[in-house]
Amino acid sequence: MSHQKIGIVGSGLIGRAWAMLFTSAGYRVQLYDILDIQIETALQELNKELHQLEQKGSLRGQLKAKEQFELISVTSKLEELVQNAVHIQECIPEKLELKQELYGKLDEILECGTIVASSTSTFMPSLYSKDLSKKQQMLVAHPLNPPYFIPLVEIVPAPWTSAEAVERTYDLMVSIGQRPVKLKREIQGFATNRIQYAILNEVWRLVGSGIMTVNDVDTVLSQGLGLRYALLGSLETAHLNAPGGVKDYFQRFGGEISAVSATYGPTPNTLKEEETLDDIAQQCEKIVPLDKLSARRATRDAFLTELAKLKKQFE
């Protein structure tokens, strides 16, 4: 169990989730935020959440909730945060100017052995690290919400990120029980959103062209493809779906895949197709009214925990 220090910048939803993940493996975590009130709230929330997880039997790691909470400290000084930190996880809002400003400050005070990983969902690391002197220590480590229950972390280097920074971040993520993947080079949307958007585009087309309802198109994933993909990726699924494995699969179905793909048409412009958006929103709000969203999220998270346990057995 490690007692090394991890710094977290931004104590919102994702900063708090990382704090719990790191303390579950025994790391000392220090939280920093520009708003004192946010840090106070974060501490209260973390204490509450860790104990709730313990009561439900879902607390990660070997330490008790109280012991994990005792590993967390706070600071309102960025200089203090970076001191002796092996890794800093940046979790500030998704605004490029904010990130650039913060990384500029970090660049001046960062120790040479500290890696800074951004939780950003959308910004390639070159966008905020390009002009900095310690840019080889900076990369993206993108989690999926809720990170406590979804183990995937996408590690994305800028062209100048050192191989050592990538490997150390990878090993760190493994050490807290997450499942990191490495991209060899940065690309817009990383991997998760590139794949997610391909699905969203097709789902949008099927509803927008009146072929399916929201309920039915979501059923295709939740009661069909998604069940397979909860266990296996799409390539291993293909590998299992032909007698001779993946080569046989693409030899048999490659022609059909190309023929169907040729009918997709242009990528929908979801910003401009207001009629489709209104229709989708109306149908979604019938399924889950806006005032029931947080209850539905909580149910989803509860079942995700169970699914995660089952998946561990599968693996």
Q: How far is CA 289 from the centre of its chain?
A: 25
14 binds ligand NAI (CB under 6 A): yes
Compare residues 70 and 94 and give the one whose CB is closer to ligand NAI.
94
Segment holding 212, helix H or strand E = none
Asked if 19 touches ligand NAI (CB under 6 A), the answer is no
Q: Looking at beta carbons only, is 68 or 120 nearer to ligand NAI? A: 120
Strand ranges of the sheet holding 85-90, from the earlier edge strand across to the other edge: 72-75, 28-32, 5-9, 85-90, 115-118, 138-143, 152-157, 179-182
In this complex, which beta carbon is closest to ligand NAI, that of residue 45 or of residue 273? 45
- Three-state secondary-structure class, residue 44: helix
Cis peptide before 146 (omega within 30 of 0): yes
Nearer to ligand NAI, 97 or 291 (CB): 97
Query: For residues 4 and 38, which CB has a smaller minimum distance to ligand NAI in the complex?
Result: 38
Residue 212 Cβ vs ligand NAI, minimum distance, rounded to whole Å: 27
Diameter over CA atoms, the chain: 61
109: three-class secondary structure by DSSP: helix
Instruction: Say if CB 141 and CB 181 are below 8 A apart.
Output: no
Among residues 9 and 156, whose Cβ is nearest to ligand NAI? 9
CB of 302 to ligand NAI, least distance (A): 18
Q: Which of the residues 68 through 107 are near ligand NAI (CB under 6 A)?
A: 91-94, 98, 102
Count of residues binding ligand NAI (CB under 6 A)? 24
Helices and strands (DSSP H and E) totals, the chain: 14, 8
Q: Which of residues 157-176 bind ligand NAI (CB under 6 A)?
A: none
Binding letters toward ligand NAI, positions 31-50, x by CB under 6 A: -xxxx--x------------
Q: Among the candidate windows 30-38, 54-62, 131-139, 163-171, which touches ligand NAI by CB under 6 A? A: 30-38
CB distance 71 to 80 below 8 Å:
no
Instruction: Please name which of 28, 71, 25, 27 lies closest in space to residue 47, comparing C-alpha atoms.
Output: 71
Contact set with ligand NAI (CB under 6 A): 9-15, 32-35, 38, 91-94, 98, 102, 119-121, 142-143, 145
